[in-house]
């Protein structure tokens, strides 16, 4: 009986021990499962947070891109002139019709030499050359603007100042400025066209406006003629200056004088007018008046006919 009692006690102990072991195993498994579940939740949470972070970043990038695009659009608009205005030395000679003509032409040339009308992308050299080629009477062109604060393009034009009236084989009348450039329209308000020296081109060549027709040396020579001949032909003025085929000489027709005077542009005007004065005194003393010309082109010699 005692043996049976011990076996019974041992069996109960074993069952209790096995139950405790099973409980501990179940508890460990439950703890592991909770850890796994917690880990899964943590991973899932991190993934959600990462996705949210990416979405927030995308939203920020989109907003930033939109702001940049709006700012770029504003600059694009502000750097494109909406109004063109020009000033010049034409003064009273500039009529409303001529103003519109120049203004519209300048605007057209501007948009032809820039990209999308942008002020900062304007090809300045090509723009200026195009305007000067289209209008030879313009000597220089400058422009300025306060874009993007304002959207007006201010253009300053200086028209050529004529010093001679030019007549060629075409029969048309043009002008020459101090640089020897030929042009059609005189808009310089200071110049009285009636006071201009008439220059007849007898070379037979018709040159286009905007080209240089006579050298600076010849221009200076012709410009000094009026002052140079004043002591010889007192009280008389130059009617016209003839430029023959040879550009090394000029022929001068003087008011109420029946002959022309041939000058060489290669010699000083002072020496030639000195010789002319001596010749005129000689002719007056001998009561002779040439009917065609007096030729002073050869140094220290004078010919007349």
Average pLDDT per 10 consecutive residues for the chain, totaling 305 residues: 49 52 56 62 71 81 78 64 84 86 92 88 94 94 81 90 88 87 88 86 83 83 87 89 86 94 93 93 92 93 91
Instruction: Give the count of beta carbons closer than 10 Å to the beta carbon of residue 6.
Output: 10
pLDDT of the residue at 43:
61
State the CB neighbour count (10 A cutoff) for residue 172.
11
Predicted pLDDT at 292: 94
Q: Name the one residue in this structure whose structure tokens are 């991973």.
A: 43
Q: Does domain 83-159 have CATH number 3.10.20?
A: yes
Write down the residue that tokens 């990038």 correspond to.
61
The string of DSSP codes covering 29-67 is: HHHHHHHHHHHHHHHHHHHHHHHHHHHHHHHHHHHHHHH
Q: What pLDDT sits at residue 6?
A: 47
Q: What is the DSSP letter of 298?
A: S
Q: Do 252 and 229 contact (CB within 8 A), yes or no?
A: yes
Delimit the domains of the chain by residue range.
1-78, 83-159, 162-304
User: Number of helices (H) and strands (E), helices first, in the chain?
Assistant: 5, 12
Tell me the CA distances in angstroms from 26 to 32, 107, 137, one per residue in order: 10, 91, 107
Dihedrals phi, psi of 208, to nearest 5 degrees:
-75, 150
pTM of the predicted model as reported, rounded to 2 decimal places:
0.69
- pLDDT, position 3: 46
């Amino acid at each position: 009986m005692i043996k049976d009692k011990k076996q019974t006690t041992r069996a109960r102990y074993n069952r209790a021990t096995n139950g405790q072991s099973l409980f501990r195993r179940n508890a460990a498994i439950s703890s592991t499962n909770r850890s796994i579940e917690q880990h899964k939740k943590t991973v899932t949470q991190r993934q959600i947070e990462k996705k949210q972070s990416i979405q927030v970043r995308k939203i920020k990038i989109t907003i930033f891109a939109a702001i940049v695009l709006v700012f770029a659009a504003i600059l694009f608009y502000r750097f494109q002139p909406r109004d063109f205005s020009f000033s010049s030395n034409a003064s009273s000679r500039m009529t409303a019709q001529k103003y519109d003509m120049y203004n519209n032409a300048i605007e057209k040339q501007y948009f032809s030499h820039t990209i999308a009308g942008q002020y900062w992308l304007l090809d300045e050299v090509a723009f200026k050359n195009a305007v000067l080629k289209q209008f030879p009477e313009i000597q220089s062109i400058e422009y300025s603007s306060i874009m993007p604060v304002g959207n007006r393009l201010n253009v300053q034009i200086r028209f050529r100042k004529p010093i001679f009236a030019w007549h060629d084989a075409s029969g048309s009348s043009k002008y020459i400025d101090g640089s020897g450039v030929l042009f059609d329209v005189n808009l310089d308000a200071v110049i009285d066209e009636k006071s201009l020296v008439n220059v007849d081109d007898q070379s037979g060549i018709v040159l286009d406006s905007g080209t240089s027709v006579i050298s600076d040396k010849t221009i200076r020579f012709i410009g000094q003629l009026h002052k140079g001949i004043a002591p010889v032909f007192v009280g008389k003025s130059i009617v016209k200056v003839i430029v023959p085929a040879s550009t090394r000489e000029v022929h001068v027709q003087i008011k109420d004088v029946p002959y022309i005077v041939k000058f060489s542009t290669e010699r000083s005007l002072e020496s030639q007018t000195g010789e002319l004065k001596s010749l005129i005194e000689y002719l007056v003393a001998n009561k002779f008046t040439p009917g065609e010309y007096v030729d002073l082109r050869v140094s220290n010699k004078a010919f007349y006919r």
